[in-house]
Amino acid sequence: MLLSDLQMKDIINIKDGNNLGRIIDAKVDQEGKINYFVAEQKKLLRKVTRMGEVTFSFDNIKKIGEDVIIVDL
């Protein structure tokens, strides 16, 4: 699976059902191993959209489906 395939999926937190956004980046070490993913988190606060970031590793991923990635954060 390519990173671009993962970037098309919404990230859902299994604990509270929140949509954490989509993957926008990945931190890769010198050996080419992915340390963690960076997802863009959108929060709507009364007509204002505030952007933030949330990070998670492969250990946090519980399931990769066709449309979503389920994580435990």
Residue whose entry in the numeric block shows the structure tokens 């395939």: 5
Angstrom distance (rounded) from CA 51 to CA 3? 21
As a CATH number, domain 3-71 is: 2.30.30.240
pTM of the model: 0.78
What is the residue-level pLDDT of the chain in tens, covering all 73 positions?
888 899 999 999 999 898 888 999 999 999 989 999 999 876 655 555 556 788 999 899 999 999 999 999 8
User: In terms of C-beta density within 10 A (0-12 exposed, 13-18 middle, 19 or more buried), how is residue 46 classed?
Assistant: exposed
Helix or strand or coil: residue 20? strand
Instruction: Name which of 28, 32, 21, 26 is nearest 68 in CA terms.
Output: 21
